[in-house]
Amino acid sequence: MLAAQQKTTLSSSHQLTIEIQKLPHGQDLLLPKYETELSAGMDLLAAISEPVILNPGQRQIIPSGVAIALPAGYEAQIRSRSGLAFKHGVVVLNSPGTIDADYRGELKGIMINHGNEPFTITPGMRFAQLIIAKVTHTQWDVVDTLTQDTQRGVSGFGSTGI
């Protein structure tokens, strides 16, 4: 079958049920959702009552109006939306912002305007993306010398070219 003819869907084994709470100021907003069937991120909506103007260089915390209960072994990441970043220079400042599994407060995005013009975030606007990801905890094994040599070795920034 040609790749263009294949139907690609996610199986139920790729789905996770997470508790979500609508907070009082987010009651009228839709829940975060995937815009397409294979989207990795769900859009967060601005749970604000008045427009927020971000002047160039200004940052502001934007609430989403929801809180979630992530299960152990997962994290949520708040990331920039590519359209806002490219067209307006508006991004999540600490992207990705990490939401730990034991956090039960409201999801918020620290937004900054790196653009040249003021940008207005309006009530209900899609301002950031939410990604749910598995987490692996690490145990350190302190050694005197690392055992695996690589072609790159200790060469750092810019060592593989432009």
Q: What average pLDDT score do residues 69-98 get? A: 97
pLDDT at 2: 47
Chain position carrying tokens 């260089």: 57
Residue 34 CA to residue 21 CA, distance in Å, equals: 18
What rounded mean pLDDT belongs to the chain? Answer: 92
pLDDT at 103: 98
Residue 87 CA to residue 95 CA, distance in Å, equals: 17
| Cα-to-chain-centroid distance, residue 147 | 35
- Residue 109 belongs to what H/E stretch? strand 106-113
Residue 154 banded pLDDT, cuts 50, 70, 90: confident
pLDDT at 13: 63
pLDDT at 1: 47
Tell me the per-residue pLDDT of 17-76, one tens digit each, with 9 for 90 and over: 999 999 999 999 999 999 999 999 999 999 999 999 999 999 999 999 999 999 999 999
Q: Which of 8-17, 28-37, 75-84, 116-125 has the lowest mean pLDDT?
A: 8-17
pLDDT at 8: 58
41-137: CATH number: 2.70.40.10
Q: What ranges do the domains of the chain cover?
A: 41-137
The CA–CA distances, whole Å, from 144 to 109, 141, 147 equal 41, 10, 9
